[in-house]
């Protein structure tokens, strides 16, 4: 889901930075100093999980884990995603600095929406089946939303990108199903073992 | 080719080379160059913008094997754009233009920003006045990555030994359980770290890095870069 350097236009890059700075400022304001350490260590665990190459037949994929990040970190997700992407750019050379704002927004906004839309239902839901359905939907929708935002940024750069954007969204559907399943298993496990972790 | 269900690709960070330039200046110049290249689509502007990466490659300051992988991806991207663009030729040209910009930015980024290392980037963030909370978050996340890496690797090795032939949903379930258990471990570890930080007097004084003042070399670099970037922009919009 990373957009590389050199693709987006100047105005879209600036808009991406503006959206991200707003989200990061809000997230930092809402995060108490004591919670910074927890946020950092949880986002480092997510960072590592996203590095794991999961094999599927002849190909393999890296999971984004946007939805679990949103469900667990809540409003602190914007700064956490920003830091993770900054470290990915520095350690792996994925993405870049100019496009960091747009990439942060494309990944953190769906995570925040997941927290707003499904957070309460997943945390306080009592029915096992209900929680499983909401968790799956959170995982799958976050990926599709991320692909749509990345597509919108490309479309705003040049309308001719729309053909490639359709392909991008279609290519993310299998990943959305996989992420939905992983979110479902992860939330079910946490609800069983340590329910307070989700709050 | 590995046949393991999971492989953890973990990078080894380069030891930053000592530099006499201010990291903040280096970062600012790199970002302004990347922005100028991103908006350039006229030939004269691109020719002028390509002078810097060409000089870096010719002078031997840029040595990176990632460029091959990057261009393999660029070839796929160019082909995709050519097939999905309203006109094949238009898509091909756009794909090649993006690939050219990406290469130029990548060479500059790899030559200037990557040698700074995380400590250099951190020092740049201090100089640029980034809020302390965000800087603490960056430092602790980096520290956390190194702490949790050992636990994650051990869990993956354990799965490999106990269930080498994992498939389908079982593979996803096991991956989710490993991630969840590492998350709980990270939360417990964070509680200990908070206690430890409080014992040492809290986050006040946590930051030891200080803002680096500008030297005459930094001022010359800023002036040179601004002149160069302005030249690219003028040629682009002329």
In a domain, A5, yes or no: no
DSSP bridge partners of A53: A62, B7
DSSP bridge partners of A52: B8
Three-class DSSP category at A112: helix
In a domain, A120, yes or no: yes
Q: How far is residue B99's CA from residue B91's CA, in Å, rounded to a whole number? A: 12
> Considering only CB atoms, which chain A residues are within 8 Å of B183?
42, 45-46, 72, 190, 197
Q: How far is residue A83's CA from residue A67's CA, in Å, rounded to a whole number? A: 17
* Between A91 and A8, the higher pLDDT residue: A8
CATH number at residue A145: 1.10.1760.20
Q: Residue A170 sits in which domain range?
A: 10-198
> Considering only CB atoms, which chain A residues are within 8 Å of B39?
9-10
In a domain, A134, yes or no: yes
pLDDT per residue rounded down to tens, chain B (238 residues):
445 666 666 655 554 555 567 888 888 898 899 889 988 888 899 999 999 999 988 887 666 667 787 888 889 989 999 999 988 999 999 999 999 998 998 888 888 888 887 778 878 888 888 888 888 888 888 888 888 888 888 888 888 888 877 777 888 888 889 888 888 888 888 888 878 877 877 666 555 555 556 788 888 888 998 999 999 999 988 7
Query: Is A34 part of the contact surface with chain B (CB cutoff 8 Å)?
Result: yes
In a domain, A88, yes or no: yes
ipTM at complex level: 0.88
In a domain, A59, yes or no: yes
> Considering only CB atoms, which chain B residues are within 8 Å of A7?
38, 98, 101-102
In a domain, A188, yes or no: yes
Q: Which long-range contacts (CB under 8 A, 24 or more apart) does A119-124 make?
A: A119/A70, A119/A71, A119/A74, A122/A71, A122/A187, A122/A198, A123/A198, A123/A199
Decide if A48 and B175 are in contact by the 8 Å CB cutoff.
no
In a domain, A2, yes or no: no
Contact predicate A106/A78, CB 8 Å: no
Chain B closest CA to A53's CA: distance in Å?
5
Q: How far is residue B159's CA from residue A179's CA, in Å, rounded to a whole number? A: 20
> Considering only CB atoms, which chain A residues are within 8 Å of B110?
93
In a domain, A71, yes or no: yes
Return the pLDDT at B1: 43
pTM recorded for the entire structure: 0.86
Three-class DSSP category at B202: coil
Angle at B235 between CA B231 and CA B238, to 5 degrees: 130
Decide if A96 and B34 are in contact by the 8 Å CB cutoff.
yes
Q: Find the helix or strand (DSSP H, E) in which A60 lies.
A: strand A59-62
Decide if A6 and B105 are in contact by the 8 Å CB cutoff.
yes
Q: How many domains does chain A have?
A: 1
Q: What are phi and psi of A59, to 5 degrees?
A: -110, 180
């Amino acid at each position: 889901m990373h957009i590389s350097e050199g693709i987006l236009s100047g105005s879209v890059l600036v808009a991406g930075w503006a959206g991200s700075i707003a989200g990061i400022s809000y997230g930092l304001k809402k995060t108490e100093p004591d919670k910074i350490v927890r946020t950092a260590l949880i986002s480092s665990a997510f960072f590592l999980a996203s590095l794991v190459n999961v094999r599927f037949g002849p190909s393999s994929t890296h999971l984004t884990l946007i939805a679990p990040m949103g469900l667990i970190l809540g409003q602190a997700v914007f700064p956490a995603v920003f830091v993770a992407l900054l470290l990915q750019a520095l350690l792996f050379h994925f993405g870049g600095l100019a496009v960091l704002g747009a990439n942060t927004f494309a990944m953190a906004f769906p995570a925040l929406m997941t927290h707003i839309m499904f957070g309460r239902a997943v945390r306080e839901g009592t029915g096992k089946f209900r929680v499983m359905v909401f968790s799956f939907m959170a995982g799958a929708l976050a990926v599709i939303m991320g692909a749509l935002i990345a597509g919108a940024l490309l479309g705003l750069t040049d309308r001719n990108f729309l053909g490639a954007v359709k392909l991008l969204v279609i290519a993310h559907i299998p990943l959305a199903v996989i992420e939905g399943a992983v979110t479902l298993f992860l939330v079910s496990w946490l609800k069983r073992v340590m329910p307070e972790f989700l709050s | 080719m590995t046949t393991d269900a999971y492989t953890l690709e973990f990078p080894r960070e380069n030891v930053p080379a000592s530099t006499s330039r201010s990291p903040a200046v280096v970062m600012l110049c790199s970002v302004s160059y990347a922005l100028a290249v991103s908006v350039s689509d006229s030939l004269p502007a691109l020719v002028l913008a390509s002078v810097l990466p060409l000089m870096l490659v010719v002078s031997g300051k840029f040595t990176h094997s990632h460029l091959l992988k990057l261009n393999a991806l660029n070839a796929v991207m160019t082909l995709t754009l050519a097939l999905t663009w309203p006109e094949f030729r238009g898509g091909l040209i756009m794909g090649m233009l993006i690939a050219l910009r990406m290469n130029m930015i990548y060479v500059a980024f790899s030559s200037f920003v990557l040698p700074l290392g995380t400590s250099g980037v951190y020092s740049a963030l201090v100089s640029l006045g980034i809020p302390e909370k965000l800087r603490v978050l960056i430092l602790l996340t980096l520290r956390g990555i190194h702490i949790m890496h050992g636990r994650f690797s051990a869990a993956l090795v354990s799965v490999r030994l106990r269930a080498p032939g994992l498939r389908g949903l079982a593979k996803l379930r096991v991956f989710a359980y490993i991630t969840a258990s590492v998350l709980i471990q990270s939360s417990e570890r964070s509680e200990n770290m908070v206690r430890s930080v409080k014992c040492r007097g809290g986050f006040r004084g946590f930051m030891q890095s200080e803002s680096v003042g500008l030297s005459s070399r930094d001022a010359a670099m800023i002036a040179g870069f601004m002149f160069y970037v302005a030249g690219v922009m003028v040629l682009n919009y002329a």
